[in-house]
Structure 1
Amino acid sequence: MAELKEARVPDIGDDKDVPVIELLVQPGDVVKKDQGLVTLESDKATMEVPAPFDGIVRELKVKVGDELSEGSVVALIEPAVAAAAPPPAKPAAAPAPAPAPAAAPAPAAVARPESAAPAPAPAPAKPAEAPRAASAEAPSRSSPPVSFDADALMPAKVPHASPAVRLFARELGVDLSQVTGSARAGRISKEDVQAFVKSALAGGGAPRATGGGGGLDLIPWPKVDFAKFGPVESKPLSRIQKLSGANLARNWAMIPHVTQFDDADITEMEAFRKKLGEENKDTKVTPLVFLIKAAVAALKKYPAFNASLDGDNLVLKKYFHIGIAVDTPDGLVVPVIRDADRKGLLELAKELGEISAKARDKKLTSADMQGGCFSISSLGGIGGTAFTPIINAPEVAILGVSRSAMKPVWNGKDFDARLMLPLSLSYDHRVIDGAAAARFTAYLAQVLGDLRRLLL
């Protein structure tokens, strides 16, 4: 056998000791360059460790549950050229043909159902099956109400757990604020949730807050046998949908959202954009590029929007990393364009195209989605007049953009036909008040209406 080469964990940003949640290949599998070998899940994202070259997997060095960091060895792979060449001494002893690539597990971890994750311990099996029980059994096996207390909504008091653990806890009806984490830095693991359930079944669970004390008791999610009313089809959510769904539910419940609406006159901007596109046919210049530059200018003028809550402190950031919501077949992801204040329109346009393609090809890493200061969600290419985007914690604001339309605008003497762009700014009311939000969107509209303001 030829010399084997190591496949290691690439740069994954600041993440360390990230657990392996799924093995995508087995020894003997034929892999192509960039094909996923294992899936890692951090607190922020799920990512694959890609094969660095074509070849045959000869040995896996990890198992589900192992914690890896940048540079950790994942597998030993025999390069494709070496694998194809028969040994000179004993041709008959050449390795048996590897299984066809089609038999290998699908490389896209986000498309795999949650059932691929390790099964929970046997003890809490009965509670875990409760959400899937028949409707006739729902009254006796429904999840208990989850109590939300106003004081517990501050970031410093949010239970430290990964999205997968939060999903697992919700399926069992467990309030994570009552669970003590045993992992590093007090992080709550699945084992901690299972131990809490065992204690509750044995009569030792902590009591839940009940109404009257300022908390909100949520009744169980309704259980309905939809097949009674007509034909149905059940499809599992993608991994991205599960993770983003948990984050969105948390952000909506924990952040007091308010949305400010405004319109920006982009008639001149659109004319300039088209001219710029004609002069640079190799680069697609979209309106989103101008929105990024305008957002940076607004963040500089109103620094409270470029901040994050940290307990009782407000962290004001001196850098400008802009998150861009990208729609993919498996769900919504938000890659980050770094140092947007230091880049020109054409450079931003090129980077935006590259990172959007990377998102749709499922090649984003955790590092690609970290460090955002402010997010933009654009539905202008689809339609709509306004919407309420959900803030991407720990950010304090997000800008939603809808489809532009020609509208009559009074210029003091008569009506002019102008191209107007609807803006929807959702903001965290704990940090930003309504007057500041109105000033922010008004300034943003001014910049988009007169790009010369970017030079000020």
Structure 2
Amino acid sequence: MRAFVGQRSVRLAKGLSSPSLQHTSISPRCFRVPGPKLFHSSPVLCQVQPYLLADIGEGITECRIVQWFVKSGDRVSQFDPICEVQSDKASVEITSRYDGVITAIHHQVDEMAIVGKPLLDIDVEDETSPDIPPQGDTAQDTATTGGDAEPESTMVTSTIPEEPAVKLEPKHSGLAAPAVRRIMKEHDIDISKVAGTGKGGRVLKEDMLRHLSQQDSMSPAPVLNDTTANEAHETVRLSPTDSQMFKVMTRALSIPHFGYTHNVDLTSLTRFRRKINARAENLPGHDKTSMTRLSALPFILKALSQTFSKYPKLNAHLDPGSDGDAPQLTIKHSHDFGIAIDTPSGLLVPVVKGIQNHSIISLDAEIKRLSALAKEGKLAPSDMKGATFTVSNIGSIGGAAVSPVIVPPMVAILGVGKAESVPMFIDNEQGESQIARRERAVLSWSADHRVLDGASVARCAESLAKSLESIDELGLSLK
């Protein structure tokens, strides 16, 4: 691009390279010459700003790019969504802090972005009004200064650099659900070749599975020789969730675990839940299709909270100390329990806060809310922090006993096994033993043996069992 400008304008252009402006990047597109006019009286001075990934909380150092809402060349305003990132704990939507134009995007979908490093570059526009007279005033300026006359106009050649090409992802990959993106990565599928049946052509999980089945039916099974079979392997990068689990469990290896396992008779609790659920079904106008049934988990959390009022040391954080500092145990008065939830992206542990203030009904609603957000990948950072104790309900998948691993800085964890119907000996009213069908589950405890002795853990566990086996003694209020 060639632009013919006056003497005063040349001095302005030279001034832009002065030391006071050396740290400001000036975009060539800002100097426009509309028709015969040399410069706009209020030119737009553009400054390219790198947009840095901020710390989204909990000491996160890197995030995975889930999807971009913008591309190079798009104009954005403050608070416009730019992209969605996923840390090892939650997904967060990043919004713009500037008004301007996107000039470069530094990461593709599924790449890892480092906190404090640029996500993209934005051409930020600032309206300025330097004293730039029109061409007609140039001669008067020269006469006033008394300097030697210079040519009326000077040719300045400015080369506009081409913007680097940004490789864009397929059309619907950024909007795909986590399950769809996982299938894409596992099977190396180009999503643009999959016919989407969702809203606006969005590709659903069912579309991906149908596409895979069609590929399997069309492709003959390969014949592998022994060499090919032995060499077949795949190296995958740990997801953010798996990376966080790797770090936490590595730290957990330094904790001396004390294990305690016992059987709990849940027959009374099971009958009570069935009675409550049946009563809800028979309410006038009740929509059975949207019915939410009470599970055993809110009862276990509430009974555990009441038990911790007698054994508060299990609801605590341990600071082991460093550089000669003495270890400290901080007992938490608020019962904020993390609940392990299996999701498409891995195991997540959202936190139910203030359990001592909840009723069974409100606990059940909060558990269902957090579970739904976890499976959709929409948990906020605040939903994931502050746990004082962890409950892993492995029984929802299967299995009886489990050996749960303590997550520091907590000092204990409880694993709940699957409830099963078993024959048990019980005493009747006459004191005679008889066999009856009972509902039984195994509770598995792990405690930090540096601060909790075995006897204290055993007493706490048996106190919880007594509360669960006698529902009347729980003293729970249903709202």
Alignment of 1:159-170 (within 5 A): none
The C-alpha deviation readout for 1:242-267, integer Å capped at 9, x for no partner, is 2112212321x111112101111110
8 Å contact from structure 1 (residues 61, 75) kept in 2: yes
The question of 1:331 aligning with 2:331 is answered no
What corresponds to 1:441 in structure 2? 461
Equivalence for 2:160: none
1:299 counterpart residue number: 308
Q: Is the 8 A contact 1:27 1:60 kept in 2?
A: no
Matches within 5 A, 1:354-393: 354-393=369-408
The CA RMSD measured in Å over matched residues stands at: 4.3
- 310, 325, 336: which one aligns with 1:321: 336
Identity over aligned residues, as a percent?
30
Query: What residue is the counterpart of 2:3 in the other structure?
Result: none
Aligned counterpart in structure 1 of residue 92 of structure 2, from 33, 46, 49? 49
Q: How does 1:11-26 map to 2 (within 5 A)?
A: 15=57, 19=61, 21-24=63-66, 25=68
What pairs up with 1:276-287 in 2 under 5 angstroms? 276-280=276-280, 282-287=291-296
Q: Does 1:422 align with 2:468?
A: no
Q: CA deviation at 1:38?
A: 4.3
User: What is the deviation of 1:378?
Assistant: 0.9
Structure 2 CA distance for aligned equivalents of residues 10 and 337 of structure 1: 27
The TM-score with structure 1 as length reference comes to 0.57
The verdict on how the C-alpha distance between 1:431 and 1:23 changes in structure 2, with shifts beyond 3 A counting, is: same
1:247 aligns with 2:248: yes
User: Quick check: 1:322–1:375 contact (8 Å CA) kept in 2?
Assistant: yes
Structure 1 runs of 4+ with >6 Å offset: 7-11, 33-36, 60-63, 73-76, 109-112
Contact 1:9–1:74 under 8 Å retained in 2: no
- Asked if 1 retains the 8 angstrom alpha-carbon contact of 2:89 and 2:348, the reply is no
The answer to whether the 8 A contact 1:28-1:58 is kept is: no
- 1:104-146 CA distance string (max 9 Å, x none): 486859978xx9xxxxxxxxxxxxxxxxxxxxxxxxxxxxxxx
CA gap of 1:10–1:360, structure 2 versus 1, over 3 A, is farther
Is the 1:263–1:422 Cα contact (8 Å) retained in structure 2? yes
Residue 399 of structure 1: CA displacement?
0.7
Give CA deviations for 1:374-393 in whole Å, capped at 9, x if unaligned: 11111212222201011121
The residue type equivalent to 2:303 in the other structure is A
SS in 2 for 1:301: coil
Moved more, 278-287 or 437-446: 278-287
CA distance in 2, matches of 1:16, 1:334: 14
- 1:81-100 matches, within 5 Å, as none
**Paired amino acid for 1:308:** H
Which residue of the partner structure matches residue 258 of structure 2?
258
3-state SS, counterpart of residue 465 of structure 2: helix
The letter for the 1-side match of 2:265 is D
Q: 2:433 is paired with a residue of what secondary structure?
A: coil
Contact 1:307 1:314 in 2 (8 A): yes
Equivalents in 1 of 2:467, 2:103: separation in Å? 54
- Establish whether residue 308 from structure 1 lines up as the match of residue 305 from structure 2: no
Instruction: Decide whether aligned partners of structure 1 residues 27 and 407 sit closer, same or farther in structure 2, where only a CA change above 3 A counts.
Output: closer
Change in 2 beyond 3 A, CA 1:23/1:264: closer
Aligned match of 1:273: 273
**Structure 1 residues 46 and 424: alpha-carbon distance in aligned structure 2, compared to 1, 3 A threshold:** closer
Retained in 2: the 8 A contact 1:380–1:403?
yes
Structure 1 position 102 matched with structure 2 position 172:
yes
Assess, with a 3 A threshold, how the Cα gap between structure 1 residues 347 and 103 changes in structure 2: closer, same or farther: closer
Aligned to 1:288, which of 283, 291, 297? Answer: 297
CA distance 1:301–1:38, change in 2 (3 Å):
same
Q: For the structure 1 residues 405 and 330, does the alpha-carbon distance in structure 2 shift closer, same or farther, using more than 3 Å as the test? A: same
Against the structure 1 CA distance between its residues 105 and 352, is the aligned structure 2 distance closer, same or farther, given a 3 Å change threshold?
Answer: closer
Q: Which residue of 2 aligns with 1:163?
A: none
Over residues 167-196 of structure 1, what are the superposed CA-to-partner deviations in whole Å (9 max), with x where a residue is unaligned?
xxxxxxxxxxxxxxxxxxxxxxxxxxxxxx
Matched, 1:398 2:441: no
Task: Give the 3-state SS of the residue equivalent to 1:277 in structure 2.
Answer: helix
Distance across 2 between alignment mates of 1:364 and 1:11: 17
Deviates more, 1:226-235 or 1:313-322: 226-235
Aligned partners of 1:52, 1:347: CA distance in 2, in Å? 33
Q: Provide structure 2 residue ranges, at least 5 long, that are not aligned to the other structure.
A: 1-50, 107-112, 123-167, 186-226, 281-287, 321-326, 427-431
Q: Which residue of 2 aligns with 1:28?
A: 71
Q: What residue ranges of structure 1 are gaps of 5+ in the alignment?
A: 1-6, 77-98, 116-225
Distance, in Å, in 2 between the alignment partners of 1:455 and 1:244 is: 37
Instruction: Describe the shift of the 1:34–1:418 C-alpha distance in structure 2 as closer, same or farther (beyond 3 A).
Output: farther
Verify the 8 A CA contact 2:468 2:474 in the aligned structure 1: no
Q: For 1:337-385, what per-residue CA distance to the aligned partner results, in whole angstroms no more than 9, with x for missing partners?
A: 0011111111111111110111111111221111111111112122222
Q: How many Å apart are 1:405 and its aligned residue?
A: 1.7
- Contact 1:321–1:374 (CA under 8 A) maintained in structure 2: yes
Distance 1:410 1:75 in 2: 72
Query: How far apart are the structure 2 equivalents of 1:267 and 1:422?
Result: 13
What is residue 37 of structure 1 aligned with on the other side? 83
Residues 229/350 of structure 1: CA separation in 2 closer, same or farther (3 Å cut):
same
